[in-house]
Amino acid sequence: MAASTSHPAFPNRPYTSGLGRTAGQSAFQPTPYNQQTPFNVPAQNAGGFGTAGAASAAPTQQQREAQRLERERQERAERERRELEERGVLEALSEEQREEVNEAFSLFDLDKDNFIDYHELKVALKALGFDLPKPDILSVLQTYGVPASQLQQGGASSNGKQPVPSQPTFSGPSRLLLSQAHFLTIAAQRIIARDPREEILRAFELFDQEGKGRIELNDLRRVARELGEGLQEEELQAMIEEFDVRGEGGIGRDEFVGICLG
């Protein structure tokens, strides 16, 4: 048998796997990378990382100024909206209602300085038919009131009244006072918003104090006397007879509402 032909020997090199690792290298061992690879980015040059990134995230002077101007624009728009709303409710008041509100303010402005405090505000609104709870009264004073100490520091105006600060501040505890102009606005808002039928029924209860469900001749006689109206007995009896639709000897709730609403 003829001897086999010898093949040329392969170059003497280590055996490598298909992943380019030597036979002795673990498949899970990370291969060292070149220090110049693009992944080796110094911390100070990485966008959003490191000191430079933190500095770039801080608002610039121009951005702060833009934010301030935007806040001022929103505050000005809110003031204008509120002033427009206040003018609208004041214009909706009748002259009689306006006089009633101003009379209530003057009655409880005990020191006659054109300002009222918490207790005076509460009783003045109650006299107009609005019995507000304590949180609502405080909210009104926080929104529209001015500190008494600020009025004292401002001194008296030319007419002898204390001036109203243009932009009052509420830093720290202080007794808050409400001006007559703001009281008129607050009362007007509630007068416009109230239900006429509810007000009529409240007036009905002033006549029908015993809760009978109808206004009788004695009720008319008593109210006329309290109001100082010099009505004759025949006139009072005629009122009962005219509106006593059911012949019950008095004016019921529905009849009374119909009379008031016309």
Determine how many CB atoms are found less than 10 A away from the CB of residue 186: 22
SS3 63: helix
Q: Is the pLDDT of residue 16 over 90?
A: no
Q: Is the pLDDT of residue 195 over 60?
A: yes
What pLDDT was estimated at residue 133?
Answer: 92
- Enumerate residues 6+ apart whose C-beta is below 8 A from 200: 256, 257, 260, 261
What pLDDT was estimated at residue 73?
Answer: 84
Give residue 159's pLDDT band: very low, low, confident or very high (50, 70, 90).
very low
- Residue 200 CA to residue 209 CA, distance in Å, equals 14
Give residue 124's pLDDT band: very low, low, confident or very high (50, 70, 90).
very high
- Residue 248 CA to residue 240 CA, distance in Å, equals 10
Instruction: Map tokens 């054109």 to a residue.
Output: 114
- Residue 214 CA to residue 51 CA, distance in Å, equals 83
Read off the pLDDT of each residue in 130-158 and give the average, rounded to a whole number.
Answer: 80
Looking at mean pLDDT, say which of 45-54, 100-109, 174-183, 186-195 comes out highest: 100-109
Structure confidence by residue, pLDDT tens digits, 65-112: 888 888 888 877 776 666 666 666 778 888 888 999 999 999 999 888
SS3 101: helix
CB neighbour class for 163 (10 Å; exposed up to 12, middle 13-18, buried from 19): middle
SS3 253: helix
Q: Are 69-153+174-193 and 196-261 equal in CATH topology?
A: yes
Give residue 215's pLDDT band: very low, low, confident or very high (50, 70, 90).
very high
Q: Select from 1.10.238.10, 2.170.150.70, 3.40.50.1370, 3.30.360.10 the CATH code of 196-261.
A: 1.10.238.10
Structure confidence by residue, pLDDT tens digits, 19-53: 444 444 444 455 554 554 454 445 444 444 455 45
- Residue 35 CA to residue 41 CA, distance in Å, equals 10
Percent of the chain with pLDDT over 90: 19
Domain parsing of the chain, residue ranges:
69-153+174-193, 196-261
pTM over cut 0.75: no
- Looking at the structure, give the CATH architecture of the domain made up of residues 69-153+174-193: Orthogonal Bundle (1.10)
What pLDDT was estimated at residue 85?
Answer: 64
Read off the pLDDT of each residue in 193-213 and give the average, rounded to a whole number.
Answer: 86
Q: Is the pLDDT of residue 166 over 90?
A: no
Structure tokens at 74: 């929103």
